[in-house]
Structure 1
Amino acid sequence: MDNRIGDMETFLAVTNGGSFAAAAKALRLTPSAVSRSIARLEARLGVLLIQRTTRSLALTPEGESYRDRISALLAEVDAVEQSLGQAPAGPRGPLRINASVPFGIHCLLPILPPFMEAYPAVTVELSLSDALVDLIEERADIAIRIGPLRDTRLRAKKLGHSRMVLVASPAYLERHGMPDEPGDLVRHDCLRFSFRRSVDSWPFRINGRVVQRPVDGPFFGNSGEVVRGMAIAGGGIARLARFHVAADIAAGQLIEVLAPFNPGDGEDIHALYDGHQRLALRVRAFLDFLDRDLILAD
């Protein structure tokens, strides 16, 4: 019997899993059944879709084109069945999310409980790390990225934008005084990052131009959350995204510093996901939830 949809789904499982064995495990088939399905598909199309070697698989140009087109096609099939009430009832299954530590703590954790209440059949696995991880290798469904996007294999949904601010604790400012202009920072302890290259200068708008001013201090932190904690503890002046410290400013734990010289720079925030596979209902539900419920302080 001709099972074109089944062969398409098997092909996508192979491209997503990277091997016939991984696809067989995901589909609960034998590797030989997966191999036969791909061979049948290639014979029907009259082209080679997957270049096989003894150690790896690679898509041919025809395979890449076919993958992109059938991903959209199968997503439309799912949408049609869902509209007719024939799809499984609601999102379900594991949802793996990767984000930076600050974004996860201050933006995701507050809104995850209502999401989980709305979708009780979804199991959320949240992984927080300030190191950039490979979404495909980590098997994450969604990765939240702050700043420039580098991975062109993934689709991106912009969640918002957050500008950078300088902040310090009331206790630190009481001891060291409030800086009146960027040049005053030479007499202050500036809290810097150890995982970025450009940590020795901060931008300021002075006389209508954005200029870099050198900063120095005895402390480096390997994450935004570490630097924020040090600022709250009175260790110095930090430069952080406003979403990260908005609640601290509102609570009086941190005070914005040198606001008239803020150049207005910031970073875009995106949700990344694999655009080459059919978007699972649980992934689509979370993306829609972020659209509706995520609030970012700019």
Structure 2
Amino acid sequence: MNGMRVLAAIVDSGSFVRAAEVLEMSQSGVSRAIARLEARLNIRLFDRTTRKVALTDEGRRFYAQIGPLLAGLEEAVASAGEGAVKVRGRLRVNVDPLWARLLLGPRLGSFLKRHPELELDLVARDHLGDLVGDGFDLAIRLGQPQSSSLIARKLMDTRVLTVATPGYLRKHGTPKKPADLESPGHTCIHFRNPATGRPFDWEFHRGGKVTIVHPRSQVTLNEAGLMESVLMSGYGLAQVIDIAVEPMLRSGALVPVLTAWPDERFPLYAYYPSRHHPPAKTLAFLEFVQSLLP
């Protein structure tokens, strides 16, 4: 490829000397590059005299074939470089369904209007999977990162709350300590961890100490919308993240319990394949995501 670039520079500039200046090479380096290319092709590319340099017939035919290819390559390089600084092209993102519904969806339109050359492919799914193998550029996921070669960038912490409806608490009483949830008088709603396939543990964190209880439950759910529906029916208690229930807490439709154990957190992470030179479209989406966070 270097020899063909040198050939094009000589044709464009009209001399070995000027080609060397354009390419920031020595004149002897230009001559050696052409000699290697001629040896590889087994043809003479130039007729050289003390006064001028001209392509041979074979040289003209060869240059006519490679000229468009070199121009296309330069255009591709320029386009790739522009893609590093301009938000354009297709961006495929794996997103956590709950986070996407609560925070991303309501403001996505404004982001897309700012970047009309971006084609965004959002896939809401309950697990990270094989980010690169599945063709994703980026993922935004709730939960602790698993062991992986991906770059994991923490975006925020959500708080884990234990909640119920006022009607449930009037009927069954308000638990005073985590162990109360294991009593026959309380019903709890389990939520399945997509990473393990098992229900999340009921954990209570306070001052660096973790208490785990095993409450009775007849139902295990794996979809946040269904969890909200069952919870709001007054069926039982559930552990949820704060961003999922803020409107219900403000209105009084849900009540937090066991608030003396306030320290459990559930993080939101961004994942991408490499920390080196992420394209502008990836950086723009990450900046947008950051702007959505409380």
Q: TM-score range by the shorter chain?
A: 0.5 to 0.7
Aligned pairs for 1:214-229 within 5 A = 214-229=214-229
Q: Give the 3 Å change call, closer, same or farther, for CA 171–121 of structure 1 in structure 2.
A: farther
Describe the superposition over 1:2-51 as per-residue Cα deviations: whole angstroms up to 9, x where unpaired.
2999xxxxxxxxxxxxxxxxxxxxxxxxxxxxxxxxxxxxxxxxxxxxxx
How far apart, CA to CA, are the structure 2 residues paired with 1:207 and 1:156? Answer: 27
What is the 5 A alignment of 1:239-278? 239-262=239-262, 264-275=263-274, 278=277
Could you say which residue in structure 2 is the equivalent of 1:110? Answer: 106
Task: Describe the SS at the equivalent of 1:268.
Answer: strand
The answer on whether the counterparts of 2:178 and 2:211 sit within 8 Å (CA) in structure 1 is: no
What amino acid maps onto 1:193 in structure 2? F
Aligned-partner Cα distance in 2 for 1:221–1:91: 39
State the superposition RMSD in angstroms: 3.1
1:132 and 2:128 correspond:
yes
Structure 1 match to 2:34: none
Query: Distance in 1 between the 2:197 and 2:265 partners?
Result: 17
Deviations 1:206-228 (A, max 9, x none): 79843222211211101333323
**Is the Cα contact below 8 Å between 2:84 and 2:280 reproduced in 1?**
no
Find the counterpart in structure 1 of residue 142 from structure 2.
Answer: 146
Show CA shifts across 1:201-253 (max 9, x none). Answer: 52235798432222112111013333233212222111112122223322333
Amino acid at match of 2:233: A
Partner residue in 1 for 2:189: 191
Alignment correspondent of 2:72: none
Deviation of the 1:113 alpha carbon: 1.6
Matched letter for residue 134 of structure 2: E
CA deviation after TM superposition for structure 1 residue 259, in Å? 0.8
- Residue 132 to residue 204, structure 1, CA distance change in 2 (3 Å): same
The 1-side partners of 2:205 and 2:217 are apart by 22
Quote the offset at 1:276 in angstroms.
6.8
Distance 1:167 1:4 in 2: 70
Matches within 5 A, 1:207-218: 209-218=209-218
Q: Which runs of 5+ in 2 are unaligned?
A: 6-76
How far did 1:188 drift?
A: 1.1
Per-residue displacement from partner, 1:143-173 (whole Å, max 9, x unpaired)? 1122222253222222111121101122322
- Alignment partners' CA distance in 1, 2:274 and 2:2: 27
Amino acid in the other structure paired with 2:293: I
Q: 2:231·2:238 contact (CA, 8 Å) conserved in 1?
A: yes
Q: Determine if contact 2:163/2:238 at 8 Å carries over to the other structure.
A: yes
- CA 1:193/1:94 → structure 2, altered by over 3 Å: closer, same or farther? same
Length, aligned pairs only: 218
Task: Give me the whole-angstrom Cα distance separating, in 1, the residues matched to 2:125 and 2:3.
Answer: 43
CA contact (8 A) 2:94 2:136 kept: yes
Cα contact 2:138–2:271 (8 A) shared by 1: yes
How does the TM-score come out when normalised to structure 2?
Answer: 0.64
Alpha-carbon deviations, 1:26-85, whole Å to 9, x = none? xxxxxxxxxxxxxxxxxxxxxxxxxxxxxxxxxxxxxxxxxxxxxxxxxxx98xx66xxx
Alignment of 1:28-43 (within 5 A): none
Question: In structure 2, what is the equivalent of residue 164 of structure 1?
Answer: 160
CA distance in 1, matches of 2:3, 2:165: 65
SS in 2 for 1:107: helix
- Looking at structure 2, the residues matched to 226 and 167 of structure 1 have their Cα atoms a distance apart, in angstroms, of 15
TM-score normalized by the length of structure 1: 0.63
Note closer, same or farther for the CA distance 1:277–1:148 as it changes in structure 2 (3 Å cut).
same
